Structure 1
């Protein structure tokens, strides 16, 4: 068994209408003015106003930055950092899925320590505590509210750079199921599979530990039993809560165990072709699972049983899980090939080089070469 360590440095508040506790969380830290970082869709839907109305009713000052895009860019981070500095805010509220949270984490670094986000690319380059950050997820998928990563697109390189530091962990995460109950069906499906992939890759990772396994197994149980129900009816309160909490547990699992080839390969798909992250993961997952089957130690059946609700097969092989994942993503309406989402073959060599730069390759259960990554892309195409 690997040596391992872990810590739980956050306070996580869960439950219906838990966003009402937001003023108390600010008061607990002596904070006076918040910058809400979110996206245009959530602003248009009135979700941002839900948060700012709560702040206003409590007599708290705030500003908003709602220009975060999918696969957020270095330029957006710079713009948001400038807006934060001009606002005089002393904390950040990240509202949304992974994109607003990634931007908020990056702003928290730059507002405190200066420079460009590229200066902090890699592991453990953030020198200390960032601007106080409260994360409020509005999707059940990324788990970003409990992870130590920020992924930002450097469009000059068609590359998604990753900043990894436990300093990025939000001080508080507020998980309110009512906020995910208006998620569009396609978004719910893609985000739900993203959370499932987080749990699977953390569970299979070479860096897995008893702690991360416990988190991953709970995530698999919650997501496996509820992803179909949630995509079918996002207003189902039990399914919404289960998916939101499952996503959180999966996030904790991969914060400590890392991921694998699926995520290493998904990031270049976002950088070169702007493929939504959850969709990229979903398309790649069956191909990578088949490749990794050579290294399976019996965990594939645990994953399969979680997805099938314990309905184990009389004769199980790794291909049984691969086929089940394909059936699940098909049922959820997710594309099955990279060609369906606009990926073309000529960029595969460049994407493979970028994928090999990811630390996730190193903890993938099967050792992987550049040529094998190229081949996996072609299989998924």
Structure 2
């Protein structure tokens, strides 16, 4: 059994200008970026690289259509280094560019073709949630299926991840909050994964500790206090990414995919809806094992009894950003069963990494509770 693997080199550079100078960004570099971030921090530097904005390909989370359009543009260049500057959507799309061949998104995500890496990828996160810069996972919505598919292969690891805290200064509070909660979910789900080891749990625990501490400070001092904690949250997100890159995520992510695919709820916000409900169900079905250790660890962070950790966690997260009922996104009650069956059919990779592997009936119970 592989206990731990960290292929991506991790660098921390305080300012964007220092990154550009150190990495000698030039004409052979293909940059895929979030437009607002690039225009604020990189455009004034007068780079000669080939630059494309993610917004050119579409809004929201990546789709197969967006990935195919990006692949077409990239294949028209002679660039040999890819630089992804953005959140998880940008980095996930850029990962597919490293693969050789003229294949489509459907062929790549469906594992229908050989997957061989031929390009260098540098990933620069601009949120504190995705952890995509250190994971071997790319997620895209397949428009005709109305659900997301994940590709998890070592060939798409970034060669280097560069953490630049300056890039988080313009992140609006709602995006900061949901991305940080997403990082916490990466940490907590990977901790109880069947694939978790002592090595991965070490990263999970440190990430949870840093995020809970940061949330407690924000709850006490207000939203703007986050600007004092950007380095800490970016680091915690990276640690959580290392953990889930090895051990995987589970039912929380699996249940969020139909909500994102049908109602276009952003990834972090969609995951947030299911966090405490899924772990409460784990507690009901199998309170021992890794969950028992997790509850004891969380009780120390939240300063409560182990039996109350999910109640207290929910209270803390509600102070960071309010959670909605599923019907507020447009979900219909008659979709509960179809969502649950869709997850069981299409998300076996994630369900197999869950602490308890839910049946579609158990998934439907959670959807109904949150509806």
Q: TM-score, normalised by structure 1?
A: 0.87
Q: Does the residue aligned with 1:87 lie in a helix, a strand or coil?
A: coil
Distance 1:55 1:165 in 2: 35
Distance (whole Å) between structure 2 residues aligned to residue 83 and residue 8 of structure 1: 30
Separation (CA, whole Å) in 1 of partners of 2:227 and 2:242? 23
Output the CA distance in 2 between the equivalents of 1:369 and 1:46: 42
Aligned-partner SS, 1:363: coil
> Paired residues, what number?
361
Cα distance in 1 for partners of 2:196, 2:209 equals 18
What residue in structure 2 maps to residue 37 of structure 1?
Answer: 32
User: Do the aligned partners of residues 46 and 372 (structure 1) sit closer, same or farther apart at CA in structure 2, a change above 3 Å counting?
Assistant: closer
| Residue 163 of structure 2 is aligned to residue 175 of structure 1 | yes
Task: Please give the secondary structure, in 2, of the residue aligned with 1:173.
Answer: strand
Q: CA deviation at 1:312?
A: 4.0
Q: 8 Å contact 1:196–1:223 — kept in the other structure?
A: yes
- Alpha carbons 1:270, 1:277 under 8 Å: kept: yes
Offset from partner CA, 1:349-374 (integer Å, 9 cap, x none): 33223322321111211231111111
Q: Is the 8 A contact 1:188 1:230 kept in 2?
A: no
Of residues 50, 59, 69, the one that matches 2:41 is 50
Give the SS at the match of 2:75: helix
Work out whether residues 200 and 243 of structure 2, in 8 Å CA contact, stay in contact via their aligned partners in 1.
Answer: yes
Instruction: Check conservation: 1:206, 1:365, Cα contact below 8 A.
Output: yes
Residues in 2 aligned to 1:126 and 1:164: alpha-carbon distance in whole angstroms: 14
Aligned-partner Cα distance in 2 for 1:14–1:306: 30
SS state of the match for residue 139, structure 1?
Answer: coil
Which residue of 298, 301, 318 maps to 1:304?
Answer: 298
Deviation at 1:52, TM superposition (A): 4.5
C-alpha contact 1:141 1:195 (8 A) present in aligned 2 = yes
Contact 2:31–2:49 (CA under 8 A) maintained in structure 1? no
Of the candidates 5, 10, 13, which is equivalent to residue 12 of structure 1? 10
Give 1:346 deviation, angstroms. Answer: 2.3
Q: Which residue of 2 aligns with 1:267?
A: 257
- Aligned residues of 1:137 and 1:175 also touching (Cα < 8 A): yes
Counterparts in 2 of 1:1-381, with a 5 A limit? Answer: 3-17=1-15, 20-25=18-23, 32-39=27-34, 43=35, 45-48=36-39, 50-54=41-45, 56=47, 60-67=48-55, 68-109=58-99, 112-121=100-109, 127-229=115-217, 232-233=222-223, 236=226, 238-293=228-283, 294-296=285-287, 297=289, 298-305=292-299, 307-308=301-302, 311-313=303-305, 316-317=306-307, 320-356=308-344, 357-358=346-347, 359-381=349-371
1:301–1:321 Cα contact (<8 Å) kept: yes
- Deviation (angstroms), 1:229: 4.0
Q: CA, structure 1 residues 175+202, in 2 after alignment: closer, same or farther (shift >3 Å)?
A: same
Quote how far apart the aligned CAs of 1:24 are.
3.4
8 Å contact kept, 1:72–1:152? yes
Structure 1's 149 and 216: CA in aligned 2 closer, same or farther, altered over 3 A? same
Q: 1:212–1:256: 8 Å Cα contact kept in structure 2?
A: yes
In the TM superposition, what is the alpha-carbon distance from 1:290 to its structure 2 partner?
0.8
Secondary structure, aligned partner of 2:321: coil
Q: Is the 8 A contact 2:33 2:51 kept in 1?
A: no
What is the DSSP-based 3-state SS (H/G/I as helix, E as strand, rest coil) of the residue aligned with 1:86? coil
State the distance in 2 between where 1:51 and 1:121 align.
Answer: 32
Q: Which runs of 5+ in 2 are unaligned?
A: none
SS in 2 for 1:12: strand
C-alpha RMSD over aligned residues = 2.3
Which structure 1 residue ranges, 5 or more long, are not aligned?
Answer: none
- Structure 2 CA distance for partners of 1:238 and 1:15, relative to 1, 3 Å: farther
Would the alpha carbon gap of residues 336 and 307 (structure 1) be closer, same or farther in structure 2, given more than 3 Å must change? farther
For 2:17 and 2:113, how far apart are their aligned partners in 1? 32
